[in-house]
Structure 1
Amino acid sequence: MQSKCAWCESQNINESKETVYWELPDGTRAIQINETPSISCKDCDMVYQSDDLVKEIEDQLFLIDAKKIGKEINYEKLMEQPRLLKRNYFDFSSYDK
């Protein structure tokens, strides 16, 4: 877990599981993802997901058949969905330079 809030830099943060809303990569709709690992700051009341988790969710949504997902899904179930590709070949940030 991060040691301080990404917004106000307070160290008064906790891990939590939150409901988030995510637009699918094709832009056709948004889905609700329940019990998503999150960070909650008790000082500024911000609730957010780490950059690594955001990338993980984005990659998973890009690599699965999102048409098989209803309007909502649990985070763990989302991450268990079978992938159509092994990795996101369009994410050039992950290639070694």
Structure 2
Amino acid sequence: MLICEWCESDAARESSNTVYWELPDGTKAIEIQDTPSIHCMECGMTYQTDSTVNEIEDQLFLIDTSKLDKSMKYETLMEAPRLLKRNYFDFAK
């Protein structure tokens, strides 16, 4: 059972959705299909968990974004080869 982070209802369910993400350098946005998401049947909000957001942002920071298509699947993005092993600028880790 999931609790909605917006309305605190227990009507939240796992889903996958298309999201649009701005690249770290601000040059463009890309479409990411089949992104793991949470959808609340009560309030209608659809969102990504903090974990998913961090994974996407880290991956976009660690790969050569100039080689990205305008649209791709989440799985394809996460499998893109990294230039660095981890985000050395994320001091929260």
Amino acid at match of 1:14: R
**Separation of aligned partners in 2, 1:73 and 1:67:** 14
RMSD: 0.8
Secondary structure in 2 aligned to 1:86?
coil
Once the two structures are aligned, what percentage of the paired residues are identical?
63
Q: Quick check: 1:60 aligned with 2:78?
A: no
Separation in 2, partners of 1:5, 1:74: 25
CA deviation vs aligned residue, 1:4-42 (integer Å, no higher than 9, x gap): 000000000111110000000000000000000000000
Q: Any gaps of 5 or more consecutive residues in structure 1? A: none
1:4 maps to 2:3: yes
TM-score after normalising by structure 1? 0.94
Q: How many residues align?
A: 93
Q: Which amino acid in the other structure matches residue 40 of structure 1?
A: H
Aligned twin of 2:80: 81
Structure 1: 4+ residue segments shifted above 3 A: none
In structure 2, distance between residues paired with 1:68 and 1:9: 40
The residue correspondences of 1:33-44 to structure 2 (distance < 5 A) are: 33-44=32-43
- In structure 2, stretches of 5+ residues that fail to align are none
